[in-house]
Amino acid sequence: MPEPTNEQPTGEQPAVEQPTVEQSADPKSPAAKPPAAKPRRDRSAADSAARRRALAGLRATTGGVGVLVAAAAIAAVGLLPLPSFGEPSPGLSVTPQRTALQQVCPGAILRLGDDTGQDAGTATAVDGAVVRENATVGSVDSTGLPGAASAARVITSAPAEDALLSGAQSQRLSGSDLTGFAAAGCREASSTAWLVGGSTTVGRTTLLTLSNPTGVEATVALRIWGENGAVSAPGMSGIIVPARSQRVLSLAGFAQNLASPMVEVVSRGGQIVAALQQSITRGVDPGGVDLIGDTAAPSTTQTIPGVQMPGPDTVGAQLGEDGYADLASALRLGNPGTEDATVDVAIVPEKKGAEATTQRIPVPAGTTVDVPIEEQPVGAYTVSLESDVPVVGAMRTSVFSPAANAQAAPKTDFEWSVAAPALAERSAFTAAVGDAPQLHLVNPGRTAVSATLQSAQAAKASVLEVPARGTLTVPLTSGSSYTLGDAAGLIGSVSYRGSGAVAGYVIASPGPTSSPITIRR
């Protein structure tokens, strides 16, 4: 495996109304009786004096007995065990039964209509994606989702202790209507996903794929925001995705001419894998494709690793041409909350000694903004976000290659790099088939991390030193699978960049499977 390159740090449902019971006076309540008349004093003075002495003695006697009874009661209470506060109640440790490891690969790039331009309301697959997968223990079973337009694949491996599963896919297109390179990692199903990227303006097609690998029907609800706020449209809730199937929806069916979509996907019942597919056509020329996986959930801190900047000389000459405005690099920020956000953005080069670019961006509540980013020198960058309220983010970059001759179209492609979650102690990933894949690791912590990288084809792991608040870039082998160890807290992605091609995807750790849990009464 090639030697790693070590980079220095650079920096509505309505509330249920509870029934109330009105309190009223009971008409049958007995009225207060008048005080009884005092008895006539007809006894002699001597009898009265004797009676008073007897009563006084009785009071003295009963008072002493009362003291003794009270003392005995206190002593008895002292013999009883008192409840203990602050001590945990007894618990039972239970280890759930191991389940099979499972991921979904999104499948081939889709177009609306067939290759003749007919049946424009139906999504059809364009050729097929190349899928690679690996399990650290045992073998991998790969099957297609029945009826999935994109031929999405479900990869599964048997449960085993310390087992990890990974997969990735890639596809290169060079047709008259779709060109470019797209790559994506296979992901575990979940009940919630956030998607940032795409557009439904003229010449931009964005499709939402909902894949349900489980044996339970999923009911999906969408929330969509854009540059003008939240989108309200029929059909955004109650979307049924049958068990072991896929649904494909066009975002334009909910909001046309939406320049900056942000989507939250929530499922009940079966869990799903959600993704976006975007394609661009400028006039009659195809402008690239991309597969956009889910981004990290809203947070006050976000990290977008491995952003491939094309360089100002690569796209600058085309930006003035009609339809090429979105060839420029842009950062999309989404604020799904009810309070305005102020986001501090740092674009940090992975190249040693290069300076970071910073700026402060306001994001109104319930909206998205696309921020043009000044073209940086060609290379890989980390984009860091610090916000006063939770936000999501993704970065769009493009590549451009001039036409080879007067009859040919220029080669353009684009990528949405999304924010990545922090890694667990051990994670697995696969480098999809493509040109010059690279691993990007970001260490946001204050201490250096010594991680290990084990290729499925190598007998020995490599040690990766990731400096505090720094990055590390490692060349990978196309189509190979890897295991990251001792990587807790790091953030990672895989990237590709070539002539007229750019793509990438984040690395995600597996969800909890069979860790022991404690049940308490």
Q: Give DSSP secondary structure letters for 106-118.
A: --S-EEES-TTS-
Nearest alpha-carbon partner for 231 in 261, 273, 274, 270: 261
What value does the CA radius of gyration of the chain take, rounded to a whole number of Å?
A: 34
Per-residue model confidence (pLDDT) at position 5:
54
Task: Determine which helix (DSSP H) or strand (DSSP E) holds 337, and give its type and residue range.
Answer: none
Cα–Cα distance, 33 to 56 (Å, whole number): 31
Position 79 pLDDT exceeds 60: no
Q: What confidence tens digit (pLDDT) does each residue in 433-484 have? A: 999 999 999 999 999 999 999 999 998 999 999 999 999 999 999 999 999 9
Where is mean pLDDT largest: 118-132, 265-279, 401-415? 265-279
Q: Record the tokens describing residue 379, joined without a space.
A: 């290379």
How many C-beta atoms surround the C-beta of residue 319 within 10 A?
15
Cα–Cα distance, 173 to 111 (Å, whole number): 12
Q: What confidence tens digit (pLDDT) does each residue in 83-95 have? A: 444 555 666 766 6
Confidence of residue 32 (pLDDT cuts 50, 70, 90): very low
Q: Record the tokens describing residue 395, joined without a space.
A: 């970065």
CB 437 within 8 A of CB 494: yes
Domain extents in the chain: 100-520
Whether pTM > 0.85 for this model: the answer is no
DSSP state of 187: B
Cα–Cα distance, 109 to 115 (Å, whole number): 13
* Phi (first) and psi of residue 108, to 5 degrees: -70, 160
Residue carrying the six token digits 């003749």: 116
CB 310 within 8 A of CB 376: no
Cα–Cα distance, 177 to 282 (Å, whole number): 10
Per-residue model confidence (pLDDT) at position 80:
44
Per-residue model confidence (pLDDT) at position 140:
97
Nearest alpha-carbon partner for 305 in 474, 448, 107, 189: 474
Cα–Cα distance, 135 to 103 (Å, whole number): 11
Position 361 pLDDT exceeds 70: yes
Residue range 138-154: mean pLDDT, rounded = 87
Per-residue model confidence (pLDDT) at position 297:
98
Per-residue model confidence (pLDDT) at position 261:
99
Per-residue model confidence (pLDDT) at position 70:
42
Three-state DSSP state, 50:
helix
Strand partners, 391: 299
Q: How far is CA 390 from the centre of its chain?
A: 13
pLDDT mean across residues, the chain: 84
pLDDT-above-70 percentage for the chain:
78
Nearest alpha-carbon partner for 112 in 177, 184, 197, 199: 177
269 class by beta-carbon count within 10 Å (0-12 exposed, 13-18 middle, 19+ buried):
middle
Position 404 pLDDT exceeds 60: yes
Q: Record the tokens describing residue 373, joined without a space.
A: 């980013």
Residue range 148-177: mean pLDDT, rounded = 92
Q: Is 229 left (phi over 0), alpha (psi -120 to 50) or beta?
A: left
Q: What confidence tens digit (pLDDT) does each residue in 220-256 have? A: 999 999 999 999 999 999 999 999 999 999 999 999 9
Nearest alpha-carbon partner for 501 in 407, 444, 437: 437
Half-sphere exposure in the Cβ direction for 90 (13 Å, CA): 0
Residue range 168-197: mean pLDDT, rounded = 96
Q: Record the tokens describing residue 319, joined without a space.
A: 């930006």
Strand residue runs (E) in 227-366 = 229-230, 239-241, 245-250, 262-269, 273-282, 285-292, 299-309, 330-335, 341-349, 357-363
